[in-house]
Chain A
Amino acid sequence: MPILKGTALALTCAGALTLTSCGTDATEERITVYAAASLHEVFEEIGDLYTEETGTAVEFSFAGSADLLAQLEQGAPADVLVTADEQTMSRAAEDELLAETPQVFAANTLALATPAGNPAGITGLEDLEREDVISVLCAPQVPCGALSRELTAAAGVEPVPASEENSVTDVLGKVRSAEADAGLVYASDVQAAGEDVETIEIDDAEDHLNRYPGAVLESAEVPEEAAEFLAFLAMPEATELLHEAGFRTGEDGW
């Protein structure tokens, strides 16, 4: 469908309003990366860096891991899939969507977040059992919720959440606006929220990791460039950005 592709590219260029990525060279390589929502900010930066170094443009589509998988199952065109947990990636493997074995390139720990000023005086996980504390967690059906359950069970804590949200961003939003006294989110989310939230140290948090695997898709139109992008994620310049954003990388061990 070269005509369609050309049209799509022209539309992208028209919409992008930038002169850098859409020069006269219409045959420019571009890869499409389907990535988990929690990687949004850091991947935008990594993508720019990658384009600078290789000349290959990157187009991201960010959504919850389950949504990404559903879109790919329906035949959405993409070159790379990056999920926020290994379970979703194994489902992609079962559906024969992957061209290769997935590689883990980053990990995340959970953090106990409170609104600025910690109004409920949260000191640790055991406060999630208090009836007077409004705590919000991810639902066990989503990756951050499964991990929260694992972490609290290991600590012997039985939380009584006021709400079990569909995504970690929803949890963070409720903590940030002080609609909740405490919530379990990813360390990288706390980093992104800045002054609005405080973090309470959790013992043994690094024993319960959430790993981010990436893989080239069977449907990839440019598999070499796709593999190159995944390799780039392990390069020092990319791991540095991941670190800054609060993620763990290979050198931290997982």
Chain B
Amino acid sequence: MRARRRATRGPLTPSGLPRWLLLPAGLGALLVLLPVAAMFLQVSWSDLPSLLTSESAVDALLLSLRTAASATALCLLLGVPLAAVLAQARFRGVGLLRGLVLLPLVLPPVVGGIALLTVFGRQGLLGGALEVLGMQIAYSTVAVVLAQTFVSLPFLVVTVETALRDLDRQMIEAAVMDGAGRTMVLRAVALPLILPSLVSGVILAFARSLGEFGATIAFAGSLQGVTRTLPLEIYLQRETDPQAAVALSLLLVLAALLVIGLAGSRRGRP
């Protein structure tokens, strides 16, 4: 019984929180919740099924899920090794490298899109070489995945790197004593230990990819079924059918809530 009681107390007990703190805290929560709740009130529920099952909406949703999943896989493939290097490295300038890798977190996404164009665009650094290979990245679904990976990668890297830094050294040393090689240590000891953080990072990256707008529209363009993801579809629907835009926004909100729920259910686990 006593143990359970202790679990219900916050970190600031026994002194607790000052009462006045509740007012700004409540306002903060309202600022986030009210706009989202208002959308639920504004949507016309009777039209909802037809709005959500229109061909362009379904195309956009499927494209969004496909590209966000691919971008998340790319983030895993590139982000985990990058995080390991940043966590392990002791060379000069690693701090600078870490800062640069995290740049997409603070860059406006549209700037990311323009930056990607200067590399992969038809007139970009690699544009000519890609054309020779018969590859056209701009205006393709690959461009959407690249844009999403660009903005989402830092989320995964930060989460995984933090977890790797907090690893229990004794566990690692024990594995080395048992004769485990470098790869073995990573695969059999480090990765299982940081799995919860890895899953959180993956969920964050997926959510960020799902909501990506600015980099996509600047770099990939907007074409139904090819590059027009759900956020782009919402932006375009506002032009002619604000109701449809609200309905599609709800769809994104629900997807986001689902992701937060998944992430939240993992928090607090050992």
Answer whether residue A222 sits at the interface, using C-beta atoms and an 8 A cutoff. no
CA distance A139 to B222 in the complex (A): 9
- Within 66-122 of B, Cβ neighbours of A (below 8 Å) are at 117, 121-122
Write out the residue numbers on chain B whose beta carbons fall within 8 Å of the beta carbon of A179. Answer: 117, 121-123, 138
When A134-B139, A163-B227, A179-B117 are in contact, do A66 and B239 touch as well, CB less than 8 Å?
yes
Partner of A141, one of B221, B223, B237: B237
B235 interface hit (Cβ, 8 Å): yes
Cβ–Cβ contact A164 & B223, under 8 A: yes
- What 1/0 mask marks residues of chain B from 221 to 257 whose CB sits below 8 Å from any chain A CB? 1111001100000011111101000000000000000
Chain A interface SS verdict (over half): loop
Chain B residues with CB under 8 Å of A162's CB are 138-139, 221, 223
B217 at the interface (CB under 8 A from A): yes
Query: Are A136 and B221 within 8 A (Cβ)?
Result: yes
A178 to B121 alpha-carbon distance, docked (Å):
9
Chain B residues, Cβ within 8 Å of A66: 238-240
Which chain A residues in 170-201 approach chain B with CB under 8 Å?
170, 174, 177-179
Are B239 and A165 in contact (CB-based, < 8 A)? Answer: no
The CB with the most chain B CB atoms within 10 A, among A141, A142, A170, is that of A141
With an 8 Å Cβ cutoff, the count of chain A residues facing the other chain is 20
Most A C-beta atoms less than 10 A away, residue of B121, B139, B222, B239: B239
A contact residues around B223 at 8 Å (CB): 161-164
Contact B121 A64 (CB under 8 A): no
Contacts of A174 in B (CB 8 A): 221
Do the beta carbons of B217 and A166 come within 8 Å of each other? Answer: yes
Indicate if the CB atoms of B222 and A141 lie closer than 8 Å. no
Question: From A160, which residue of chain B is reached at the shortest CB distance?
Answer: B223
**In the assembled complex, A153 has its CB within 8 A of some CB on chain B:** no
User: What separation, in Å, do the CA atoms of A75 and B243 have in the docked complex?
Assistant: 18
Q: Is the CB of B222 within 8 A of A164?
A: yes
By the criterion CB–CB under 8 Å, are A134 and B238 in contact? no
Task: Report the minimum CB–CB distance from B215 to chain A (whole Å).
Answer: 14
CA distance A173 to B117 in the complex (A): 12
Residues of B near A165 (CB, < 8 A) are: 221-222
Cα(A178)–Cα(B239), bound, Å: 27
A70 within 8 A of partner (CB): yes
Kindly supply a per-residue 1/0 record for chain A positions 125-148, scoring 1 wherever the CB is within 8 Å of any chain B CB and 0 otherwise.
Answer: 000000000101001011000000
Query: Which residues in B have their C-beta under 8 angstroms from that of A141?
Result: 236-237, 239-240
* From A161, A170, A178, A179, residue with most partner B Cβ within 10 Å: A179
Beta-carbon contacts under 8 Å, B173-230 to A: 217, 220-224, 227-228
Tell me which residues across on chain B come within 8 A of A142, comparing CB atoms: 236, 239
Q: Which residues of B have CB within 8 Å of A170?
A: 217
User: What 1/0 mask marks residues of chain B from 131 to 165 whose CB sits below 8 Å from any chain A CB?
Assistant: 00000101100000000000000000000000000
**Contact status of A177 and B123, CB under 8 A, knowing A162-B139, A166-B217:** yes
Compute how far the CA of A139 lies from the CA of B224 in the bound complex, rounded to whole angstroms.
10
Give A61-96 interface residues, CB cut-off 8 Å to B: 64, 66-67, 70
Residues of A with C-beta under 8 A to B242: 70
Specify which chain A residues have a CB less than 8 angstroms from the CB of B224 in the assembled complex. Answer: 164
What is A's interface to B at a CB cutoff of 8 Å? 64, 66-67, 70, 134, 136, 139, 141-142, 161-166, 170, 174, 177-179
Can you identify 18 A-B contacts, CB atoms within 8 angstroms? A64-B239, A66-B238, A67-B238, A134-B122, A141-B236, A141-B240, A161-B223, A162-B139, A162-B223, A163-B139, A163-B223, A164-B221, A166-B222, A166-B235, A174-B221, A177-B121, A177-B123, A179-B117
Query: Nearest 7 CB-CB pairs, A to B?
Result: A163-B221, A162-B139, A66-B239, A141-B239, A141-B240, A178-B123, A142-B239
Q: A142-B236, A165-B222 are in contact. List 15 more A-B contacts (CB 8 A).
A: A66-B238, A66-B239, A66-B240, A67-B238, A70-B238, A136-B221, A141-B239, A162-B138, A162-B223, A163-B227, A164-B222, A164-B228, A177-B121, A179-B121, A179-B122
